[in-house]
Amino acid sequence: MSQKPFRSVDSPSVTLETPPRELWRNQQDAVRMCDRYFRSGATGAALVQMPTGSGKTGVIAVVASVRAVQKPALVISPSAALTEQLRTDVGSKFWTDLRIDAAWRPERTFHVLPSAAAELLNELDAEQAGRLILFATIQALLQLEADHPDAYQKLRESIGTAIFDEGHREPAPLWARTVRRLCVPTILSTATPFRNDLKMFNVDTDHVQYLSFRDAVARRLIRDVRIETVAAQGAREFAHEVVERRDRLITGGSMPSTTTLRTPRTNWL
């Protein structure tokens, strides 16, 4: 089934077929792969693998927001801190920093916590217009199921998409079991080469978007890595040496300063 376009006043259609033009090419390719996956009706999960800094958060934001047009989307990450960061980024910061049309931005976000089970039920039952994206850790979902099975069941019945961010940090059986139990189309997103356990996660190999570190460097999306050995007697001396080397790189023009990096576009590098 094709994705229904969401329209706001004086704004263009919002679909995965036509990602925001502000995205990089690799991000647009990943979004379109996800669109093909959703349209295919595949029973396995799709996989998006990109190195850190090459735009994974943007892909999550676009896919979650568009999929939430029909039913709430659930974004799962390995820690509470990352969950809250994703909620901030996907809820507003990503769209604002890149100056993407407001029609792409979700109207509602919610951090799923066992202690907020009643609020979750109210959010899922709310008869208010707008897309809803939920954010949670695997641990929060497991605890919600144990302590508030009615809220967990309502969540399972309500969502239409699950997106796992950096799930490789969790034990593979735990992650895989959580994926399977949600019983919805699922995107697995990671910045590291995926482990040799695709069968455990039931990844559909026809729907994989892979960007290698070398390709990302060649496209000038991220910087190359050079490993140097620092001979230091202790942690303090090591820290001083690292700071001095960084300062020399900045002075020599080989590395931007912190203030230079914090521009709207490079926030997402």
In a domain, 98, yes or no: yes
Please tell me the predicted confidence (pLDDT) of residue 265. Answer: 42
Please tell me the predicted confidence (pLDDT) of residue 263. Answer: 36
The answer on 132 and 251 residing in a single domain is no
pTM: 0.81
Are 184 and 160 within 8 A, CB to CB?
Answer: yes
Q: How many domains does the chain have?
A: 2
In a domain, 18, yes or no: no
- Identify the burial level of 122 via C-beta atoms within 10 angstroms of its C-beta, where 0-12 means exposed, 13-18 middle and 19 or more buried: exposed
> CA separation (Å) from 259 to 88, 232, 266, 267?
21, 29, 11, 11
The answer on 65 and 151 residing in a single domain is yes
The answer on 243 and 114 residing in a single domain is no
Please tell me the predicted confidence (pLDDT) of residue 259. Answer: 43
**What's the length of the chain?**
269
The answer on 246 and 131 residing in a single domain is no
* 129 CB neighbour count, 10 Å cutoff: 7
In a domain, 110, yes or no: yes
Are 178 and 141 within 8 A, CB to CB?
Answer: yes
Residue (of 194, 213, 214, 184) closest to 52 by Cα position = 213
The answer on 240 and 152 residing in a single domain is no
In a domain, 146, yes or no: yes
**Digits of tens for pLDDT over the chain (269 positions)?**
444 444 443 445 789 999 999 999 999 999 999 999 999 999 889 999 998 888 999 999 999 999 999 999 999 998 899 999 999 999 999 999 999 999 999 999 999 999 999 999 999 988 666 899 999 998 999 999 999 999 999 999 999 999 999 755 656 677 677 777 888 999 999 887 655 555 566 788 899 999 988 988 888 888 888 787 878 788 888 888 888 888 888 888 776 665 443 333 433 43
Identity of the amino acid at 110: F
The answer on 187 and 142 residing in a single domain is yes
- The set of residues, in sequence order, having a beta carbon less than 8 Å from that of 13 and lying 6+ positions away, is 5, 6, 7
Please tell me the predicted confidence (pLDDT) of residue 171. Answer: 60
The answer on 169 and 78 residing in a single domain is yes
- SS3 for 66-79, per residue? HHCCCCCEEEEECC
Looking at the chain, the number of H-run helices and the number of E-run strands are: 12, 7
Domain that residue 115 falls in: 25-218
